[in-house]
Amino acid sequence: MVPNKNFSEKAQEDFKLVDQALQTNDEYAYIELMKRYKRPVYFVILKMVRNVDDAEDLTMEAFAKAFENLHRYKKDHTFSTWLFRIATNNAIDFMRKKKLATLSLDTSCKDSEGESMSMDVKDDNLNPHEAVIKSQKIAFVRELVTKLPPKYQRLIKLRFFQELSYEEIADTLSIPLGTVKAQLYRAREFMYNLMKGRREHL
């Protein structure tokens, strides 16, 4: 779809970066999109979950999901609107799972273009087709984890599969909390790069 000329200059630049990412798998395009929106996505998520560590994890998840599904993006909305919707919906799923006390879902959020965003609250019950897709995604993530160096595999499994807190991981592994955070950040970067590399096979 040819982007509407009424979109802002920044939105038009985003469209070009998306095209570069999709057509040539240009690493620069992925990095540039992430650089443009990592901080605003992080702060929107932080406002929702009210926890710095969770917000960092969910920010990386949001970009991984967006890049994984970039071929589904349509240019009838700005890239930032689409990205923020993925990020907020992912955060909502996380909050439901954790049963966190958070801000009202009616609280308005805006993307970088100033557009109001809806937070689509989905039915928790999966139909058979959705259940199969979820199972496939879990298998995909577990396969990616096996590609990580052993020390990062262990951290990812403790954090995301066993759902331990940063403090619990530090206690379990008998390492400083700062080391846990630094190594998990590096592990997420590995996961992000692996996800990019596998995108063309999705």
The 10s digit of each residue's pLDDT in 156-175 is: 888 877 778 888 888 988 88
Reply yes or no on whether the pLDDT at 147 is more than 60. yes
Q: Is 40 helix (H, G, I), strand (E, B) or coil?
A: helix
For residues 42 and 115, the model is more confident at: 42
Averaged confidence pLDDT in the chain? 76
Nearest of 100, 97, 118, 101 to residue 109 by alpha carbon: 118
pLDDT at res. 31: 84
Is residue 15 very low, low, confident or very high in pLDDT (cuts 50, 70, 90)?
Answer: very high
Average the pLDDT over 174-198 and give the result: 77
pLDDT at res. 120: 46
Amino acid at 139: A
Cβ neighbour number for residue 33 with a 10 Å cutoff: 23
Average the pLDDT over 55-76 and give the result: 86
Comparing 21-25, 69-73, 82-86, which segment has the lowest mean pLDDT? Answer: 21-25
Instruction: Give yes or no for a contact between 77 and 112, defined as CB atoms under 8 angstroms apart.
Output: no
pLDDT at res. 197: 62
Could you tell me the sign of the dihedral formed by the alpha carbons of 101, 68, 43, 104, in that order?
negative
Phi, psi of 181 (to 5 degrees): -65, -45
Residues present in the chain in total: 202
Burial of 192 (0-12, 13-18, 19+ CB in 10 A): middle
Average the pLDDT over 45-66 and give the result: 87
Residue labelled with tokens 């909305």: 77
What are the CA-CA distances from residue 56 to residues 63, 64, 71, 94, 114 (Å)?
A: 11, 13, 25, 13, 23
- Walk me through the domains of the chain, giving residue ranges and CATH numbers: 1-122 (1.10.1740.10), 125-202 (1.10.10.10)
Residue labelled with tokens 């560590």: 53
Is residue 79 very low, low, confident or very high in pLDDT (cuts 50, 70, 90)?
Answer: very high
